[in-house]
Amino acid sequence: MKRSGCSIFGLVLILFGSSQLICTRGFESLLKLPQSGSTRTRPRSKRVLFLADFGAKGDGFTNDTKALINTWEIACSFPSRTRIVIPAGRAYLVHPVSLGGPCRSKVTLRISGTITAPKDPDVWVGLNPRKWLYIHGVNHLTIEGGGTINGMGEEWWDRSCKRNSTNPCRHAPTAITFHRCKNLKVKDLMLVNSQQMHMAFTHCIRVLASHLKVIAPSASPNTDGVHISTSKGVMIKDSIIRTGDDCISIVGNSSRVKIINIVCGPGHGISIGSLGKSNSRSEVHDIMVDGSLISNTENGVRIKTWQGGSGFASNITFQNLLMKNVSNPIIIDQYYCDSLLPCPNQTLAVKVENISFIHIRGTSATEKAIQFSCSDDLPCEGLYLEDILLLSVNGGTTKSFCWEARGSSLGLVDPPACFSYSEGFIKMKGLSESAIYSL
């Protein structure tokens, strides 16, 4: 059943230009910061573990890594539900750490204070440069509390080849990585200034992340907000992400992902990909991005693939979105090349098909508001546009660009669709509820 853009966005009419009224959503709930943890005392028992009881100082200078490891090991080994408390008003310096499962029962990590990374990248010498807080193999873990995870990324950014081309290109840590976790909940947290990506889910199943605030400067390199790789049944909702790279990126072999009510920008927008790098195979399908505000970003919603890859990106819907001053509001780029050297032309490609863009309105910072640059040998098929209004932020005209793009459109589409129309194309109305909500 078709839903109108105004009924979904709800609620507030705002004026764009002199005459165009565009629907947008009230993002009041998104604009609230995570609440700090409760200060009321709790009865201390073996099921509520405080870092201070294991030697942590919480002064921001003393290395509290060992105390965190010891607390985790006790909590993970306890036969009934256990809570680890990192109290408000304290800053805990934590060096690179691995917290692993399986645990005997459900564990809650309540972060109400601050976990801080070492400032000096040399702390990672001899260690995995991609990891800071690494949580793996845990089932039914909850992380909450209204506190902050601070990656102290400034020194890493200064050493990046993207900031200074004379520097060698090296990996930097993801602030917090969840690997092979199931039935995971992450909520009410702030992540700031990660060394590289802020939060990553890899090989995870059934994840709910909500009420996050992820912040880094717009010039910070590769600081994706949330990165999803080879994971299934992931929902990211009701969060604010303002970084130097993708607000949310979905790669690898990921499926049944729902992104809802995100405030994104600055940064690079919400991206599927990049897929197919180094002739690899990727299968990404059943993805929904619904009801988000994207502003002052390099891209709006994007699918990007490398030449020479294989696999597919299919059954993807972007709907009910408001764009404000976005350089590339709608883009499919099958010639993506993030390399200092030119990428060679190749015939193999990741297949892009059954992609819908529905109820998307706002302003473009460039003339080319819609861009579909698809493979010569494996064209995009089943593209669908409905109720699109993307005006120039400068009052000029906007255009669409198509290369080997096939699909259809319905209703108002401005700038007009430019792709070739497939006779047998059946418009995709959206994903089934069972596919989207079976988390």
Task: Round to the nearest angstrom and report the end-to-end CA distance of the chain.
Answer: 23
- pLDDT tens for each residue of 308-326: 999 999 999 999 999 999 9
**pLDDT higher than threshold 50 for residue 346:** yes
Q: Which two tokens stand for residue 95?
A: 């060096």
Structure tokens at 381: 């098929």
pLDDT band for 421, please (50, 70, 90 cuts): low
Which domains, and CATH codes, for the chain? 32-245 (2.160.20.10)
55 C-beta neighbours (distance < 10 Å), count: 12
- Cβ neighbours of 41 (radius 10 Å): 6
Q: Residue 24 to residues 184, 202, 291: CA-CA distances in angstroms?
A: 31, 33, 9
> Hey, which residues are catalytic here?
268
| Locus of tokens 């593209």 | 383
**According to the model, what pLDDT value does residue 140 have?**
98
> What percentage of residues in the chain have a pLDDT greater than 90?
81
Cα-based angle 143, 147, 151 (whole degrees, multiple of 5):
90
- How far apart CA 101 and CA 98 sit, in angstroms, is 10
Please, which residues have CB within 8 angstroms of residue 215's CB and are 6 or more apart in sequence?
A: 190, 191, 192, 193, 240, 242, 243
d(CA 231, CA 428) in angstroms, rounded, equals 24
User: DSSP label at 228?
Assistant: E
Give the mean pLDDT of the chain. Answer: 88
**Contacts for 197 with CB less than 8 Å, ≥ 6 apart:** 174, 175, 222, 223, 224, 225, 227, 245
Q: Please state, in angstroms and as integers, the Cα–Cα distance from residue 416 to each residue in 107, 361, 419, following that order.
A: 52, 13, 9
Predicted local distance difference test score (pLDDT) of residue 71: 97
Residue for token digits 């880094």?
A: 216
Contact predicate 407/380, CB 8 Å: yes
Q: What is the pLDDT of residues 385-409, one digit of tens each?
A: 999 999 999 999 999 999 999 999 9
Of residues 374, 388, 383, the one with CA closest to residue 356: 383
Strands (E), 306-427: 310-326, 328-333, 351-364, 368-373, 380-392, 399-403, 405-414
Are the C-beta atoms of 317 and 428 separated by less than 8 Å? Answer: yes
Contact 196, 171 (CB under 8 A): yes
- Residue 397 is encoded by which pair of tokens? 């005209």
pLDDT digits 0-9 by tens, 249-288: 999 999 999 999 999 999 999 999 999 999 999 999 999 9
Structure tokens belonging to residue 356? 């819908």
**Top-confidence residue, 375 or 35:** 375
pLDDT, tens digit, 9 for 90 and up, residues 77-127: 999 999 999 999 999 999 999 999 999 999 999 999 999 999 999 999 999
Query: How many Å apart are CA 416 and CA 411, to the nearest integer?
Result: 10
